[in-house]
Amino acid sequence: MVETPRPKSPLLRSFRRPSVIPGFGISFGYTLTCLGLIVLLPLAGLVVKASGLGLSGIWEVATDPRVASALRISFGVSALAALVASAFGFLVAWVLTRYRFPGRKLVDAAVDLPFALPTAVAGIALASLYAPDGLLGSALARLGIQAAYTPVGIFIAMVFIGLPFAVRTVQPLIAEIDKEIEEASATLGATRLATLTKVVLPPLIPAVLTGFALAFARGVGEYGSIIFIAGNLPYVSEIAPLLIVIKLSEFDYGGAAAIATIMLGISFLTLLAINLIQAWSRRRFGYV
Amino acid sequence: MSEIFSPVAVPATKPAQVASEGAITRAVLIGIAVAFLALFLVLPLFAVFTQALSKGIGAFLDAFREPDAWSAIRLTLTVAAIAVPFNVVFGLAASWAIAKFEFPGKSLLITLIDLPFSVSPVVSGMIYVLLFGSQGLFGSWLIDHGIQILFALPGIVLATVFVTFPFVARELIPLMQEQGTAEEEAALTLGASGLHAFRTVTLPNIRWGLLYSVLLCNARAMGEFGAVSVVSGHIRGLTNTIPLHVEILYNEYNFVAAFAVASLLAALALITLVLKSFLEWRFAGELAHGRAH
């Protein structure tokens, strides 16, 4: 054992396990200071503002028809978009890990595009593509679907923004699947479809659910890529984050804080669900 | 390599495809996946450049002759030049404390550092309005002392730091945890000072991970829209970053200029993706694990 060079204060020494490595006090202190000042204090300000309203005040804002409709649109469309993103995300992850084809690396890199492309840029690009006279908008119009300025547009933007979460959560787990299990299943006489649905898929379900929850949470909070294509008609295509911006510009801080609290509450429940899924998955399958 | 050589050389070693789908199914699935990605992800990126150049190169360049465009570019560069180094220092401190030492409450601390990622961008901006806005917690105190945070550079920097807060730390923490403390301990027992050990042992070990996280952090810092839009006040030529300038141009139906300025950010995104993929390919072993694919 190496001796600790300088005795620290008794509090720090009992708090952390002894180590020869220096710099715990300063790095830990700096971390907590930054975290406190930049993240925790401002978020506490939101909690203070919201608790000033009380549950009845928040409920009053939530049941305002325009707010209720915006929340319904944000959460409803996001759930639908996360569902589609999860399905196609699974397919993309499967194709990228299991099959070899020319341009695979390029396709793999393209999956991260929504992470890298600023939301406002994605927003105006989607709006111009799906506008009634746009490349895809005119094609959809011929099918009788109007995408821009309707919930369909919001749905498209949310699928765009949620897809990387769905792909990247499932992809490492598909790569880890033991091929021998599939071969065993096949040699025991199972058809390929039976092997996939009974052997391969079940252990992947927690990851798919996690990807769904992440895409869902991202879609609910998303602003930049949606507002341009949505057209923001109250009661039709107005999302909750936009309503926060409107309330702030009207100096209705209480109303904005109430909407934000409701959104954070539901997002928190989603995160909690993810953690429960992962804990359950660890117990059931031995990995996340 | 096997497909280059004639198939006769390998067939015996190639196991029967019992654990894969048939060739037709494979082709169809690849086709659907690639078509979906092309339609949903690549086409929007493509649209940015085609729209920007739709009226010719002259109209494209006109967008950059405006002084407002230049002040937006300057502001975005300034904000990134403050926010990114701040997050690098924070990330280094946080990962040093968390990865090199054992203490209770560690996973709670990591969760709190990750918190900004799960907050909506609009809410990220709003929390600063609640603190520093004219009707906010410190609003009247700030007005009395003539300090401007909201609708000015400090507010934009704060909101940007908030949304990019976890980027460096969450890359470096798992990376440093994987590397353990043995090398630093060796350096210290050989007589190096703590700072010397950090500079010559730790930093070289994490440099690619650090660069990787700085790339992603910078892309987000320069492209952030929601949070910055709430705190900036949209004052033309003063508090408009590039994404906000794009929004204003678009809302004024000045589409060519909007897409021309947006193409700057799209190019930044492309460069970021290329460098990121290069780092993942070349230095997979020196990034936090789970990234190699």
DSSP A85-149: HHHHHHHHHHHHHH---TTHHHHHHHTTHHHHS-HHHHHHHHHHHHSTTSHHHHHHHHTT---TT
Higher pLDDT, A42 or A265: A42
Model ipTM? 0.89
Please list every residue in chain B whose beta carbon sits closer than 8 Å to the beta carbon of residue A45: 127, 130-131, 136-137
Are residues B223 and A88, on separate chains, in Cβ contact within 8 Å? no
Are residues B30 and A99, on separate chains, in Cβ contact within 8 Å? yes
Please list every residue in chain B whose beta carbon sits closer than 8 Å to the beta carbon of residue A124: 48, 246-247, 250, 258-259, 262
Give the chain B residue whose CA is nearest to the CA of A171.
Answer: B293
d(CA B142, CA B129): 12
Q: Count of CB contacts below 8 A, A vs B?
A: 295
Question: Smallest Cβ distance to B133: which of A2, A224, A253?
Answer: A253
In sequence order, the 6+-apart residues with CB closer than 8 A to the CB of A94 are: A170, A174, B29, B33
Are residues B126 and A260, on separate chains, in Cβ contact within 8 Å? yes
Please list every residue in chain B whose beta carbon sits closer than 8 Å to the beta carbon of residue A114: 41
Q: With 0.80 as the threshold, say if the pTM is over it.
A: yes
CA distance B34 to chain A (A): 7
Beta-carbon count within 10 A of B67 CB: 9
Beta-carbon count within 10 A of B181 CB: 18
Report in angstroms the alpha-carbon separations of B221 from A96, B242, B246: 30, 11, 16
**SS3 assignment for chain B:** CCCCCCHHHCCCCCCCCCCCCCHHHHHHHHHHHHHHHHHHHHHHHHHHHHHHCCCHHHHHHHCCCCHHHHHHHHHHHHHHHHHHHHHHHHHHHHHHHHHHCCCCCHHHHHHHHHHHHHCCHHHHHHHHHHHHCCCCCCHHHHHHCCCCCCCCHHHHHHHHHHHHCHHHHHHHHHHHHHHCCHHHHHHHHCCCCHHHHHHHHHHHHHHHHHHHHHHHHHHHHHHCCHHHHHHHCCCCCCCCCHHHHHHHHHHCCCHHHHHHHHHHHHHHHHHHHHHHHHHHHHCHHHCCCCCCC
Place of tokens 């003063």: B238
Sign of CA dihedral B242, B243, B245, B249: positive
Q: Three-state DSSP class for A155?
A: helix
Tell me the one-letter amino acid at B68: D
What is the per-residue pLDDT for A14? Answer: 64
Are residues B137 and A45, on separate chains, in Cβ contact within 8 Å? yes
d(CA A202, CA B30): 22
Q: Three-state DSSP class for A189?
A: coil
d(CA B260, CA B54): 10
Segment A168-190, tens digit of pLDDT: 999 999 998 888 888 899 899 88
Question: Smallest Cβ distance to B18: which of A48, A112, A186?
Answer: A186
Where do the structural domains in chain A lie, given as residue ranges?
49-286
Question: Smallest Cβ distance to B19: which of A92, A175, A182?
Answer: A182
**Residues A253 and B129: beta-carbon distance below 8 Å:** yes
Give the chain B residue whose CA is nearest to the CA of A215.
Answer: B118
**Does A266 contact chain B (CB < 8 Å)?**
no
d(CA A6, CA A23): 11
Give the chain A residue whose CA is nearest to the CA of B16.
Answer: A183
Interface test with B, best of A2, A17, A31 (most B CBs within 10 A): A31
Buried b / exposed e over B198-218, threshold 16 CB at 10 Å, is beebbeebbebbbbbbbbbbb
Segment A51-82, tens digit of pLDDT: 888 899 999 999 999 999 999 999 999 999 99
In sequence order, the 6+-apart residues with CB closer than 8 A to the CB of A235 are: A65, A66, A69
d(CA B281, CA B287): 10
Are residues B112 and A264, on separate chains, in Cβ contact within 8 Å? no
Higher pLDDT, A267 or B151: B151
Q: Can you read off the two tokens belonging to residue A250?
A: 């009207």
CA distance B198 to chain A (A): 10
d(CA B248, CA B246): 6
Mean of the per-residue pLDDT values of chain B: 90
pLDDT band, very low/low/confident/very high, at B7 (cuts 50, 70, 90): very low
Beta-carbon count within 10 A of B3 CB: 8
Segment B9-62, tens digit of pLDDT: 444 444 556 678 888 999 999 999 999 999 999 999 999 999 999 999 999 999
Are residues A42 and B127, on separate chains, in Cβ contact within 8 Å? yes
Question: Smallest Cβ distance to A113: which of B41, B103, B188?
Answer: B41
In sequence order, the 6+-apart residues with CB closer than 8 A to the CB of A174 are: A93, A94, A97, A98, A204
Segment A191-215, tens digit of pLDDT: 888 999 888 998 898 889 889 999 9
What is the per-residue pLDDT for A158? Answer: 97
Interface test with A, best of B17, B39, B40, B253 (most A CBs within 10 A): B40
CA distance A30 to chain B (A): 7
Segment B224-266, tens digit of pLDDT: 999 999 999 888 888 999 999 999 999 999 999 999 999 999 9
Beta-carbon count within 10 A of B168 CB: 26
What is the per-residue pLDDT for A96? Answer: 95
d(CA B88, CA B209): 11
pLDDT > 90 in chain B, percent: 77
Which of B91, B183, B178 is CA-nearest to residue A21?
Answer: B183
d(CA A200, CA A34): 44
d(CA A222, CA B265): 19
Segment A215-256, tens digit of pLDDT: 999 999 999 999 999 999 999 999 999 999 999 999 899 999
Buried b / exposed e over A130-142, threshold 16 CB at 10 Å, is bbeebebbeebbe
List A residues 124-163 in contact with B (Cβ-Cβ < 8 A): 124-129, 135-136, 156, 159-160, 163
In sequence order, the 6+-apart residues with CB closer than 8 A to the CB of B100 are: A19, A21, A24, B176, B181, B184
Are residues B90 and A30, on separate chains, in Cβ contact within 8 Å? yes
Q: Can you read off the two tokens belonging to residue A63?
A: 């049941």
Segment B106-125, tens digit of pLDDT: 989 998 999 898 899 999 99
List A residues 23-62 in contact with B (Cβ-Cβ < 8 A): 23-24, 26-28, 30-31, 34-35, 38-43, 45-46, 48-49
Please list every residue in chain B whose beta carbon sits closer than 8 Å to the beta carbon of residue A39: 112-113, 115-116, 162, 165
Question: Smallest Cβ distance to B181: which of A21, A43, A48?
Answer: A21
What is the per-residue pLDDT for A244? Answer: 95
Eight-state DSSP code of residue A196: I
H or E stretch at A2: none
What is the per-residue pLDDT for B13? Answer: 44
What is the per-residue pLDDT for A10? Answer: 57
Please list every residue in chain A whose beta carbon sits closer than 8 Å to the beta carbon of residue B22: 192
Are residues A91 and B32, on separate chains, in Cβ contact within 8 Å? yes
Question: If you write DSSP's letter for every residue of A201-269 in order, what string do you get?
Answer: SGGGHHHHHHHHHHHHHHHHH--HHHHHHHTT-TTTT--HHHHHHHHHHTT-HHHHHHHHHHHHHHHHH
In sequence order, the 6+-apart residues with CB closer than 8 A to the CB of B72 are: B240, B241, B242, B244, B245, B261
**Does A172 contact chain B (CB < 8 Å)?**
yes
- Superfamily in which the A49-286 domain is placed by CATH: MetI-like (1.10.3720.10)
